[in-house]
């Protein structure tokens, strides 16, 4: 009977499962290295501002801005940028 291989095993061809889960210390080190937070912050400021103006432009100009929506509009690009940087770093190693 043949054993089923995971996509990770098939991708690297080693036949041994690669470990995908890292320790919290490893994630923290990857998160704070090589300017990841700085780049993610810059992306969040630019993309979040554009999205807020598109989605809540009238509310910004005439009052009635929804602060929870505004905050989330900045947090989402920050999270996506951070995830992309960490995923790229993980696939490169």
What is the C-alpha radius of gyration for the chain, rounded to an integer number of angstroms?
20
Q: What is the pLDDT of residue 68?
A: 95
CA 73 from chain centre, in angstroms, equals 14
pLDDT at residue 26, rounded to an integer: 77
Query: What is the domain partition of the chain in residue ranges?
Result: 23-92
CB 86 within 8 A of CB 31: yes
- ∠ CA 78-82-83, nearest 5°, is 115
Interval 31-88: pLDDT, tens = 787 888 999 999 999 999 999 999 999 998 998 999 999 999 999 999 999 999 888 8
Place of tokens 């992306």: 43
């Amino acid at each position: 009977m043949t054993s089923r291989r995971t996509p990770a095993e098939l991708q690297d061809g080693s036949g041994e499962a690669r470990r995908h889960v890292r320790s919290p210390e490893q994630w923290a080190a990857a998160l704070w290295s090589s300017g990841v937070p700085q780049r993610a912050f810059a992306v969040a400021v630019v993309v979040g501002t554009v999205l807020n103006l598109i989605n809540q432009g009238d509310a910004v100009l005439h009052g009635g801005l929804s602060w929870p929506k505004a905050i989330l509009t900045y947090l989402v690009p920050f999270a996506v940028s951070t995830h992309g940087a960490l995923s790229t770093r993980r696939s490169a190693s």
